[in-house]
Structure formats: structure tokens, C-alpha cells
Amino acid sequence: MRKQMQGISLILFSILLILTFEVMDIRYVFDLSLYWAHIFLVIGIAGIIMVFGKPKN
């Protein structure tokens, strides 16, 4: 259950960061042509894997 809560919190945190960075109009990662939203999406995917993955005993 603890792993699921960590995954859910990662998903919610990445959604919060995506929305916040869009409102503040911060789009690019420093001087790279990479959007912050892509990084936060990867964090959200990691959270999904944590939620639906099988826990190790």
C-alpha cells in the first residue's frame, strides 16, 4: 500500500507542476529545446508504474 501511495503522490505532483509551469509561462528546460511538460510526464509515468506494479515481498 505504501508503494501505491508514493505512486499516486508522484502522479499528482507531476500534474501540479505541469499546470503551474504552464501558468507561469515557463516552457523550456534552460537553453535546451526540451519542454518541462515532457519531464513531468516521465515522472507521472514512473508514478503509474509504481501504482500498478507488483510489490516485492
* Domain boundaries, position 34: 2-52
Question: Considering the domain boundaries, does residue 13 fall inside one?
Answer: yes
Each residue's pLDDT tens digit, 3-56: 788 888 888 888 888 888 888 887 788 877 888 888 888 888 888 888 877 767
Question: Considering the domain boundaries, does residue 57 fall inside one?
Answer: no
Domain count, the chain: 1
Question: Considering the domain boundaries, does residue 43 fall inside one?
Answer: yes
Question: Considering the domain boundaries, does residue 23 fall inside one?
Answer: yes
Q: pTM for the full model?
A: 0.69
Burial of 39 (0-12, 13-18, 19+ CB in 10 A): middle
Distance CA 35, CA 29 (A): 6
